[in-house]
Amino acid sequence: MSHPDTDAWTALFAAARTPRADGTAPDSIRPLFAADPARFERFSFRADNLLLDISKTAIDDRAMAALLGLAREAGVEAWRDSMAAGDAVNSTENRRALHMALRAPQGAQRATGGAAVAADVHGTLARMHAFTQAVHGGAIRGATGERFTHVLNIGIGGSDLGPVMAVRALVNPASPMTALHLGNVDGHGWRALLAQIDPRRTLVLVASKTFTTQETMANARLVKGWLAETLGEDRAATHMAALSTNLPACAAFGIPSERVFPFGDYVGGRFSMWSSIGLSLALALGWDAFERMLAGARAMDTHFLRTPLEANLPVLLALTELWHVNGLGLSRRAVLPYDERLRRLPAHLQQLEMESLGKRVTVDGRPVPHATGPVVFGEPGTSAQHSFMQLVHQGPEPVPADFILVAQPDHPWAENHRILLAHGLAQSEGLLAGKNADQVRAEMRAAGADDATIERLLPHRIFPGDRPSTTILLPRLEPHSFGQLVALYEHKVAVLGALWGINPFDQWGVELGKQLADPLLAELRATTPEPARHDASTNGLLREILRLRDEA
């Protein structure tokens, strides 16, 4: 893969492709630890209580200097400040990217888009707060006089993944309401939810930035009909609220304005859980938890805005990714939260990162001359160890991994937590250290294996090691640290946009499928394929689906 012809990119490629001064390979990690007992101290960084350890990567002083040079050449600081100030950094949609304003304190207008945005944000927050208190206190009740016990959020993509992730991460036995989420248009999802909710006690939020997303609107109509069956046509909407930028569409759907919680078009879907899109969180977790989550994100914003590049966690996380993707040619990354409560973090990061960074042209429309966003996948540990970690340890290509560890659990089973952490640490230790032929031979001999067996199994039992990982360590998982963590990844994505010269805030790549689905839907409704429209495979599959459906 080529690279831009600039001094900084040339220095980066030199650092990634030529041996180090001591002769070691530029992608080796073990020699860095052997040569520098203080490597952990020098390559781990803090923002408040959150620690980022990038020492288990091949980034050395030469690579770090090249990466920081690249950040300076790309104007990362100016781009960050311009984003925060409210410039239209989302240039292909002529929009601002002001998710930081959603968690800025009242009165903090500098670097958050100005007074009008602050007034919008705090006006909506005040309404969300009052609504949450009224629902919890019973002043707002269902049409039959019962209190709301469940909140059902209907939304998809950024109007679903952030809230789902946050509820799973932060719900606790004292949480005031149960949150459920309907994302997919697949009716099987709705059927599974139906068993858990009673229309008389369920508050329904239709979460859609555009209020036109086909799947969300289909689900919203379905659920409105379900409410109407019990409550009556005229009272169904009294159990609904809308979270959107499209106020006319909310009104057309029948949701009264006092139940519409707006946000500005300066908030991207995948950055929106801090806006009214987070109302299900406030209801399910309590207002205090929601505010603490915002405060955690704000703390990370402050760190991001004020900390020099060389100690700035989002910048360092972005540079580490760039090192792996462009320096070492690694196009995949695993996200491994060692905390079951973070089980939807990988899904959220898939959208946040791949929708933002899966781009092949620069902001000004030229082809990007190098790789951009990697494929992101993940699962909580230790479960991941029993599924895909085989490939990460012994597959032909390294897969950089993010380990997310939480020091203190919120349950009383200390031994379980010790086991969990031991495995999390063991994975990154094992990826780094590997196991060589001598170690395997010695182990097998000690276990009584004969020489023939040892030699036959040797290649299978060797671990190459020198495989990179980063670790993020949180003292506890609670709303504040969770807010910090999510904002860390948001800013990482923005920084990578600047480094790669791409727009991380648009998502044109999702449009084609939406366009093509419309005629297919019409053909499925009419049960008459229009062969001229499609390729032979799509025609064949359509005919087969219609045949199988008709048989049934």
Cα(8)–Cα(12) distance, rounded to whole angstroms?
6
Q: Per CB under 6 A, does 216 bind ligand F6P? A: yes
CB of 449 to ligand F6P, least distance (A): 54
Instruction: Look at residues 487, 439, 484, 500 and name the one whose alpha carbon lies nearest to residue 464.
Output: 439
- Residue 212 or 528: which CB sits closer to ligand F6P? 212
Within 352-391, the residues that bind ligand F6P by CB under 6 A are 355
Distance separating alpha carbons of residues 36 and 16, to the nearest angstrom: 19
The nearest distance, CB 215 to ligand F6P, in angstroms, is 8
Q: Helix %, strand %, coil % for the chain, to 5?
A: 55, 10, 30
* Pattern 238-277, ligand F6P, x by CB under 6 A: -------------------------------xx-------
The contact pattern for ligand F6P, residues 307-346, with x = CB under 6 A and - = no contact, is ----------------------------------------
Residue whose C-alpha is closest to residue 253's, from 279, 225, 231: 225
Contact stretch for ligand F6P (CB under 6 A) within 185-193, 207-215, 288-296, 385-393:
207-215
Least Å from the CB of residue 88 to ligand F6P: 18
Minimum CB distance to ligand F6P smaller for 279 or for 299: 279
Displacement of CA 213 from its chain's centroid (Å):
20
Angle among Cα 392, 398, 404 to the nearest 5 degrees reads 60
Tell me how far, at minimum, the Cβ of 486 lies from ligand F6P, in Å: 15
Which residue from 26, 69, 158, 400 is in contact with ligand F6P, where contact means CB under 6 A? 158
208 binds ligand F6P (CB under 6 A): yes
Contacts with ligand F6P by CB under 6 A: the residue count is 14
What values do phi and psi take at 318, rounded to 5? -65, -45
**Which C-beta is closer to ligand F6P: that of 167 or that of 277?**
277
CB of 258 to ligand F6P, least distance (A): 21
Find the binder of ligand F6P among 322, 507, 529, 542 (CB under 6 A).
507
CB of 511: closest distance to ligand F6P in angstroms? Answer: 8
Q: Which stretches of 294-396 are assigned E, i.e. beta strand?
A: 332-338, 375-378
Q: Can residue 124 be called a binding residue for ligand F6P (CB under 6 A)?
A: no
Segment lying near ligand F6P (by CB under 6 A), choices 134-142, 150-158, 253-261, 387-395? 150-158
Give 243-295 as a DSSP string: EES-HHHHHHHT--GGGEEE--TTS-GGG-TTTGGGHHHHHHH-HHHHHHHHH
CB of 520 to ligand F6P, least distance (A): 17
Compare residues 36 and 93 and give the one whose CB is closer to ligand F6P: 93
Q: In what order do the strands lie in the sheet with 44-47?
A: 44-47, 50-53, 469-476, 401-408, 332-338, 375-378
Cβ proximity to ligand F6P, 156 vs 325, nearer residue: 156
Where in the sequence numbering do the catalytic residues fall?
Answer: 355, 386, 514
Among 192, 407, 442, 510, binds ligand F6P (CB under 6 A): 510
Angle between helices 161-170 and 479-500 (to 10 degrees): 150
Q: Which stretch binds ligand F6P (CB under 6 A): 68-76, 173-181, 203-211, 339-347?
A: 203-211
How many other C-beta atoms are found inside a 10 Å radius of the C-beta of residue 110? 11
Length of the chain: 552
| Three-state DSSP state, 416 | helix
Give the 3-state secondary structure of 496-515: HHHHHCCCCCCCHHHHHHHH
Contacts of 459 (CB under 8 A, 6+ apart): none
Provide the minimum distance between the beta carbon of 51 and ligand F6P in the complex, in angstroms, as a whole number: 30
Strands (E), 19-165: 44-47, 50-53, 150-154
Residues at the interface with ligand F6P (CB under 6 A): 156-159, 208-210, 213, 216, 269-270, 355, 507, 510
